[in-house]
Structure 1
């Protein structure tokens, strides 16, 4: 007789939540999992992803002929905020706001722990309205500014690490705002990529897309500063010197946000292990 097999019906999401290799705090993991389990993520995202890619490609080609800004950055901000308030789930909006704070914390950690003369950046929105006023463009520019400021600066582990400002303050995604539908963050990014491409000129859009290729650079710098190889585990092998904007931008943005969260969570864990008090998000 054939041997008996143990039959199991494990939950993929339960395993993800329990995965000890994920450095994020459990409430944040739960929020990300719940967002990925939304109906829109399963049924709408595959179509939104293709639609976004096609429309952005058409817009990019058209802008090679009509070389001007089609709408103002202020109008783009207004369109995206209107969309987020009415069509995107509050948890997804909170994850988006949180990313701006987390990335700023990482940029400032590098600034504070190297000999660069660049002042810490101040982009730490806590409300949905705070994503206006060119926040999207500013947070990309911060990445470039800190890398340029490091030119000629020796990047090495300091005698004592400065873990200040690694907190994530309370965030307001306007949960009381009635939503017509509640899209997940990945589907929302597909739709928001369209006005983003319309508003920026070709070089600005290319610069914004390319900023995510510096994730590996940031992870390498963090590994050197902290003398901790863990940061290198999340590298993708993306070479910053390789220029290519013909990519799946919403997918890159989502992975970029997760990488920032992983790196930030690891820094917070390092700080707490050394007795530095970092409030829980």
Structure 2
């Protein structure tokens, strides 16, 4: 399955009945969020699926109870066991066995999108030679097997290390992020690399939100408590990243659609599943907005959305 494919896209043939309008068709046709069309279809197909409508609400109380037991266990033994390798192998197996093609497409996309958002900020931070102080570990998986290379854990480390090292470099120069006259959008991809043909068997029916809800307690169980808490807190860094991008662009328009909450007021880790869904949506929206601005820049138009008429 390529990045451009979606299994049985129902929206292309869906008829509109004014007496019974489909809410998912309305969201599919709505373009208030500048997210990639493939990502939008994958997300909406999952949201209207059997697993999201039935399996998710029925299983959620049991998953919540399991999560509470895991938290008690981790309070007693915060560092043991540390089964990071087994965790990523288990996630790979679960997604390959049960994840729908749309679920797996969204998950693989997320690492590319996150990598490019960090690269955009790094390239436009104006650090000069100090830019090398901000380390990067690009994540560009094209196969589900790539998950086994500590993909989820490295994603969390990338975000926190970037914020710490970026701000250390800025403080060393006694400066802050400032608007850039002509931002560099070269790292923002209009299309992502082709993914492997993703599994589409009779068991591959689980939507991304249900998958996230199931694997979040497993993440807490198999990683040391500090790693899980850091991962949960990273989900609220979307607003921080959006503020950095606003400073670079000189416009805060995109802050209207970043809704994951500032991390200085940390939410309970019991909410991590929902926050992860919001994190994915925020990242897709930010990346989509940068693609819009990249196209406007190439066309010689103004980047400020309040000045849509010219350069």
TM-score over 0.5 for the alignment? yes
Partner-residue secondary structure (3-state), 2:28 = helix
Q: 1:137 to 1:19 in 2, by over 3 A?
A: same
**Which range moved further: 116-125 or 43-52?**
116-125
Which residue of the partner structure matches residue 127 of structure 1?
143
In the alignment, structure 1 segments of 5+ residues that lack a partner are 1-6, 277-281
Q: Aligned-pair distance for 1:177?
A: 5.7
Q: How many angstroms apart in 2 are the aligned matches of 1:268 and 1:112?
A: 16
- 1:126-159: CA deviation from partner (whole Å, max 9, x where unpaired): 2111122111011011111111122225111123
Partner-residue secondary structure (3-state), 2:237 = helix
Question: What is the alpha-carbon root mean square deviation over aligned residues?
Answer: 1.9
Which residue of the partner structure matches residue 159 of structure 2?
143
Which residue of the partner structure matches residue 15 of structure 1?
26
Match of 1:112 among 123, 126, 143: 123
- 1:70-124: CA deviation from partner (whole Å, max 9, x where unpaired): 2521111111111111111011101111011101111111111102431443112
| Residue 187 (structure 1) aligned with residue 216 (structure 2) | no
- 1:200-232: CA deviation from partner (whole Å, max 9, x where unpaired): 111111110001111111111111111122221
Which residue of the partner structure matches residue 47 of structure 2?
36
Which residue of the partner structure matches residue 225 of structure 1?
248
- 1:157-189: CA deviation from partner (whole Å, max 9, x where unpaired): 123211122124234254246352410000011
Which residue of the partner structure matches residue 4 of structure 1?
none
Q: 1:30 to 1:155 in 2, by over 3 A?
A: same
Cα contact 1:219–1:232 (8 A) shared by 2: yes
Which residue of the partner structure matches residue 102 of structure 2?
91
**Which range moved further: 196-205 or 36-45?**
196-205
Q: How many angstroms apart in 1 are the aligned matches of 2:259 and 2:33?
A: 17
Q: 1:62 to 1:70 in 2, by over 3 A?
A: same
Q: How many angstroms apart in 2 are the aligned matches of 1:263 and 1:69?
A: 37
Q: How many angstroms apart in 1 are the aligned matches of 2:135 and 2:35?
A: 28
Match of 1:155 among 177, 202, 207: 177
| Residue 196 (structure 1) aligned with residue 219 (structure 2) | yes
Partner-residue secondary structure (3-state), 1:247 = helix
Which residue of the partner structure matches residue 75 of structure 2?
64
**TM-score, length-normalised on structure 1?**
0.89
Q: How many angstroms apart in 1 are the aligned matches of 2:42 and 2:200?
A: 19
- 1:237-276: CA deviation from partner (whole Å, max 9, x where unpaired): 7232223434321111011000000000000110011118
Structure 1's consecutive aligned runs of 4 or more residues displaced over 4 angstroms after TM superposition are: none
